[in-house]
Protein backbone atom coordinates (compact mmCIF):
# COMPACT_ATOMS: atom_id res chain seq x y z
CA UNK A 1 0.00 0.00 0.00
CA UNK A 2 2.66 2.61 0.87
CA UNK A 3 4.47 1.60 -2.30
CA UNK A 4 1.33 2.15 -4.33
CA UNK A 5 0.90 5.57 -2.71
CA UNK A 6 4.44 6.59 -3.63
CA UNK A 7 3.80 5.60 -7.19
CA UNK A 8 0.60 7.58 -7.24
CA UNK A 9 2.34 10.65 -5.88
CA UNK A 10 5.04 10.26 -8.51
CA UNK A 11 2.32 10.03 -11.14
CA UNK A 12 0.71 13.22 -9.87
CA UNK A 13 4.09 14.91 -10.03
CA UNK A 14 4.48 13.90 -13.67
CA UNK A 15 1.07 15.25 -14.53
CA UNK A 16 1.80 18.54 -12.80
CA UNK A 17 4.92 18.95 -14.90
CA UNK A 18 3.00 18.08 -18.04
CA UNK A 19 1.00 21.29 -17.74
CA UNK A 20 -2.32 22.84 -17.01
CA UNK A 21 -4.41 19.71 -17.28
CA UNK A 22 -4.08 18.97 -13.58
CA UNK A 23 -5.70 20.36 -10.52
CA UNK A 24 -3.65 22.35 -8.07
CA UNK A 25 -4.91 22.19 -4.48
CA UNK A 26 -3.64 23.93 -1.37
CA UNK A 27 -4.76 25.84 1.74
CA UNK A 28 -3.93 28.38 4.43
CA UNK A 29 -4.76 27.77 8.08
CA UNK A 30 -4.65 29.46 11.46
CA UNK A 31 -1.77 27.61 13.10
CA UNK A 32 -2.23 25.87 16.43
CA UNK A 33 -5.99 26.01 16.15
CA UNK A 34 -7.84 23.16 17.83
CA UNK A 35 -10.81 22.45 15.59
CA UNK A 36 -12.31 20.07 18.16
CA UNK A 37 -13.92 23.10 19.79
CA UNK A 38 -16.18 23.45 16.72
CA UNK A 39 -19.15 21.16 16.25
CA UNK A 40 -21.72 22.76 13.97
CA UNK A 41 -21.65 24.82 10.80
CA UNK A 42 -23.94 26.60 8.40
CA UNK A 43 -23.57 28.26 5.02
CA UNK A 44 -22.71 31.92 5.45
CA UNK A 45 -22.83 34.97 3.20
CA UNK A 46 -19.86 35.34 0.85
CA UNK A 47 -17.60 38.41 0.92
CA UNK A 48 -17.42 40.79 -2.00
CA UNK A 49 -13.97 39.41 -2.86
CA UNK A 50 -12.73 37.38 -4.57
CA UNK A 51 -15.11 38.10 -7.43
CA UNK A 52 -17.06 35.10 -8.64
CA UNK A 53 -17.75 34.10 -12.21
CA UNK A 54 -21.46 33.76 -13.11
CA UNK A 55 -20.69 30.78 -15.39
CA UNK A 56 -20.00 28.82 -12.22
CA UNK A 57 -21.61 30.69 -9.35
CA UNK A 58 -24.93 31.07 -11.10
CA UNK A 59 -25.03 27.58 -12.53
CA UNK A 60 -27.59 25.71 -10.38
CA UNK A 61 -25.91 22.38 -11.07
CA UNK A 62 -22.56 23.74 -9.94
CA UNK A 63 -24.06 25.24 -6.78
CA UNK A 64 -25.99 22.10 -5.86
CA UNK A 65 -23.18 19.73 -6.54
CA UNK A 66 -20.60 21.87 -4.74
CA UNK A 67 -22.79 22.29 -1.68
CA UNK A 68 -23.44 18.57 -1.58
CA UNK A 69 -19.72 17.81 -1.83
CA UNK A 70 -18.82 20.31 0.91
CA UNK A 71 -21.58 19.05 3.20
CA UNK A 72 -20.31 15.52 2.72
CA UNK A 73 -16.73 16.61 3.46
CA UNK A 74 -17.79 18.53 6.59
CA UNK A 75 -19.83 15.55 7.80
CA UNK A 76 -16.80 13.35 7.21
CA UNK A 77 -14.85 15.67 9.53
CA UNK A 78 -17.53 15.28 12.21
CA UNK A 79 -19.25 18.64 11.76
CA UNK A 80 -23.00 18.82 11.92
CA UNK A 81 -24.97 21.09 9.63
CA UNK A 82 -27.12 23.23 11.93
CA UNK A 83 -29.63 25.77 10.70
CA UNK A 84 -31.50 25.87 14.02
CA UNK A 85 -29.01 27.02 16.63
CA UNK A 86 -26.20 29.52 16.13
CA UNK A 87 -23.51 27.52 14.29
CA UNK A 88 -19.86 27.42 15.42
CA UNK A 89 -18.59 27.77 11.85
CA UNK A 90 -19.70 29.52 8.69
CA UNK A 91 -18.71 28.22 5.27
CA UNK A 92 -18.76 30.11 2.00
CA UNK A 93 -17.13 29.75 -1.39
CA UNK A 94 -16.00 31.69 -4.44
CA UNK A 95 -15.70 30.26 -7.94
CA UNK A 96 -13.61 32.44 -10.18
CA UNK A 97 -12.41 32.13 -13.79
CA UNK A 98 -9.40 34.01 -15.16
CA UNK A 99 -7.58 34.01 -18.48
CA UNK A 100 -4.10 32.56 -18.14
CA UNK A 101 -1.29 31.82 -20.54
CA UNK A 102 1.12 28.97 -20.73
CA UNK A 103 4.19 28.50 -22.88
CA UNK A 104 3.84 25.64 -25.29
CA UNK A 105 7.25 24.34 -26.28
CA UNK A 106 7.79 21.77 -28.97
CA UNK A 107 10.97 20.55 -27.32
CA UNK A 108 9.02 19.77 -24.20
CA UNK A 109 6.29 18.00 -26.12
CA UNK A 110 8.58 15.96 -28.35
CA UNK A 111 11.66 15.68 -26.21
CA UNK A 112 14.12 17.30 -28.62
CA UNK A 113 14.94 20.64 -30.15
CA UNK A 114 15.59 21.25 -33.85
CA UNK A 115 18.67 22.94 -35.34
CA UNK A 116 17.14 26.40 -35.60
CA UNK A 117 15.89 26.31 -32.05
CA UNK A 118 12.55 25.47 -30.65
CA UNK A 119 9.24 26.69 -31.89
CA UNK A 120 7.52 28.45 -29.10
CA UNK A 121 3.95 29.51 -28.81
CA UNK A 122 1.83 30.67 -25.96
CA UNK A 123 -1.45 28.99 -25.17
CA UNK A 124 -4.26 30.92 -23.61
CA UNK A 125 -6.68 29.06 -21.39
CA UNK A 126 -9.32 29.73 -18.78
CA UNK A 127 -8.29 28.74 -15.28
CA UNK A 128 -10.91 28.22 -12.64
CA UNK A 129 -10.20 28.79 -8.95
CA UNK A 130 -12.55 27.44 -6.33
CA UNK A 131 -11.96 28.98 -2.90
CA UNK A 132 -13.69 27.61 0.20
CA UNK A 133 -13.56 29.70 3.38
CA UNK A 134 -14.32 28.38 6.87
CA UNK A 135 -14.99 31.13 9.42
CA UNK A 136 -15.28 31.11 13.20
CA UNK A 137 -18.89 32.33 13.52
CA UNK A 138 -18.31 33.93 16.93
CA UNK A 139 -15.20 35.98 16.06
CA UNK A 140 -16.05 36.28 12.36
CA UNK A 141 -12.43 35.40 11.54
CA UNK A 142 -11.26 33.15 8.75
CA UNK A 143 -9.72 30.00 10.25
CA UNK A 144 -9.10 28.05 7.06
CA UNK A 145 -9.10 28.69 3.32
CA UNK A 146 -8.75 25.90 0.80
CA UNK A 147 -8.54 26.25 -2.98
CA UNK A 148 -8.38 24.20 -6.12
CA UNK A 149 -7.26 25.46 -9.51
CA UNK A 150 -7.56 23.84 -12.91
CA UNK A 151 -8.42 24.62 -16.49
CA UNK A 152 -12.19 24.85 -16.94
CA UNK A 153 -12.17 23.79 -20.58
CA UNK A 154 -14.48 20.84 -21.02
CA UNK A 155 -16.10 21.45 -17.66
CA UNK A 156 -18.48 24.30 -18.43
CA UNK A 157 -21.61 22.81 -19.89
CA UNK A 158 -20.58 19.24 -19.16
CA UNK A 159 -22.18 18.09 -15.93
CA UNK A 160 -20.30 14.79 -15.67
CA UNK A 161 -16.92 16.47 -15.94
CA UNK A 162 -18.01 19.28 -13.66
CA UNK A 163 -19.23 16.85 -11.00
CA UNK A 164 -15.98 14.89 -11.19
CA UNK A 165 -13.88 18.06 -10.91
CA UNK A 166 -15.90 19.34 -7.95
CA UNK A 167 -15.64 16.01 -6.14
CA UNK A 168 -11.88 15.88 -6.63
CA UNK A 169 -11.43 19.54 -5.65
CA UNK A 170 -13.46 19.33 -2.45
CA UNK A 171 -12.09 15.95 -1.37
CA UNK A 172 -8.47 17.05 -1.85
CA UNK A 173 -9.05 20.44 -0.24
CA UNK A 174 -10.66 19.00 2.87
CA UNK A 175 -7.82 16.49 3.02
CA UNK A 176 -5.82 19.53 4.17
CA UNK A 177 -8.36 20.68 6.76
CA UNK A 178 -6.77 20.61 10.25
CA UNK A 179 -7.47 17.56 12.38
CA UNK A 180 -8.45 17.83 16.05
CA UNK A 181 -5.34 18.23 18.23
Partner 1 sequence: MRPLVRLSVAALAALALTGCATTNVRSFVERGVDVQQYRTYSWGPAREQATGDPRLDNNRFFQERIEAAIERNLNARGFEKARAGESDLLIRYYASVEQQVNANGADQPYTSCEGCQPYVFDAGTIVIDLIDARTRRMVWRGWDEGSIDGVVDNQAWMEKRVDESVARIVERLPRRAGRVS
Q: Is 154 in the site for partner 1 (CB under 8 A)?
A: no
With CB under 8 A as the contact rule, the residue among 57, 71, 102, 126 that binds partner 1 is 102
Q: β-strand 80-81 against 40-43: which pairing, if any?
A: parallel
Identify whether the C-beta of residue 170 lies closer than 8 Å to the C-beta of residue 77: no
- Give the residue from 2, 1, 93, 6 showing the smallest Cα distance to 56: 93
17-56 footprint of partner 1 as x/- string (CB under 8 A): x------x-xxxxx----------------xxxxx-----
Window contacting partner 1 (CB under 8 A); options: 32-40, 71-79, 98-106, 161-169:
98-106
Near partner 1 by CB under 8 A: residue from 83, 116, 160, 179: 116
CA atoms within 13 A on the CB side of 102: 16
Greatest Cα-to-Cα distance within the chain, rounded to the nearest angstrom: 71
What is the DSSP-derived secondary structure letter of residue 35? G
Q: Which residues bind partner 1 (CB under 8 A)?
A: 6-7, 10, 13-14, 17, 24, 26-30, 47-51, 94, 96, 98, 100-103, 105, 113, 116-118, 120, 122, 129, 131, 141-142, 145, 147
Amino acid sequence: MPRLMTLTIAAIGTLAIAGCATMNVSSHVERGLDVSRYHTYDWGPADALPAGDPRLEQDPFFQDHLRGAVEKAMAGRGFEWSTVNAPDLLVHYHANITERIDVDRLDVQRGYCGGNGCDVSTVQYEAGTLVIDVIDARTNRLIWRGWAQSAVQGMLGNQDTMARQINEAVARMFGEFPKPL
